[in-house]
Amino acid sequence: MKKLHVGLLIGAALVVGLSAIGGSAIAAKKKGWGKYQVDDRRSGYTYTAKETIAIQDDELGNPASLWLDEGQALWSKKDGKAGKACATCHKDAATTMKGVATSYPKYSKKTGKMQNVEQRINQCRTENMQAKPFKYESKQMLSMTIYVKNQSHGMPMDVSVDGPAVPFFEAGKKFYFQRRGQLDMSCANCHVDNPGNMIRANKLSQGQGNGFPTYRLKWQKPGSLHRRFRGCNKQVRAKPYGYGSDEYTNLELYLGWRARGLPVETPSVRM
């Protein structure tokens, strides 16, 4: 592995320890992480401090439960010109939305592109409810996405990367390994080459997306996977892409494949 340029890292106030390691470091040893590890794939859960994990695992104490409750309330609330709620068509989410999140992003015949859960929710809002789309990072969108994904809690991620998804998967994969920004680093430089190593105050994980939207203690609220992508792009001083952009939706598909078999953890809690 090319040694990371420490000077640049210090310049960007990132720092510490990264230059010392060589080789691919995905911990191959099984550490008894149970369902949070499948082969060499490990959820961020397994890299997160015990105190933070305890917050996630406490059903009442998980601060994202407020957003989950909000999503549940929105589910049955009529909105838009058609006078419908999600529940009008989808009835009980515990049944109809169970497992749905494991297969997203998914190819949409209608748009000819990949569609993530947020985008599918907005399609239902505009077409089936004749209601305004939710803004991507709004409280409503985060709440509804958390609610829908939470119906698949504990179920293994299983996105399709065959058939019409192939070119989108390839684009997402290319993005993942492309070096970018002033620090000239790819996603893989941090999340494939260095999981387990410290960067600033954080222990690097494999950068898995199975817990999103995640409640970040730093944000004091939940944020979408695309918000995280933007943050990671900015860390290397690269231009972030837009929320819901094709670039990020394809990247999300690649991450869905990377996470195959890992459980949907939404809403996870992270530093």
From the CB of 28, what's the least distance to ligand HEC, in Å? 18
Q: How far is the CB of 14 from ligand HEC (least distance, A)?
A: 6
Assess whether 187 carries a catalytic annotation: no
Which spans of this chain sit near ligand HEC (rule: CB under 6 A)?
Answer: 44, 84, 86, 88-90, 100, 117, 120-121, 124-125, 128-129, 144, 148, 185, 187, 189-191, 199, 202, 204-205, 207-209, 211, 214, 228-229, 232-233, 235-236, 251, 270
Contacts of 253 (CB under 8 A, 6+ apart): 105, 114, 159, 161, 165, 168, 169, 172
Residue 44 or 222: which CB sits closer to ligand HEC?
A: 44
Nearer to ligand HEC, 16 or 66 (CB): 16
Q: 264 φ, ψ to 5°?
A: -65, 125
Q: How far is the CB of 70 from ligand HEC (least distance, A)?
A: 13
Q: Cα(125)–Cα(131) distance, rounded to whole angstroms? A: 5
Helix, strand, or coil (residue 87): helix
Contact status, residue 210 vs residue 156, Cβ threshold 8 Å: no
List Cβ neighbours of 57 (8 Å cut-off, separation of 6 or more): none
- Distance in Å, CB of 243 to ligand HEC, minimum: 14
**H or E element that contains 34:** none
Q: Whose CB is nearest to ligand HEC?
A: 44
Catalytic residues: 232
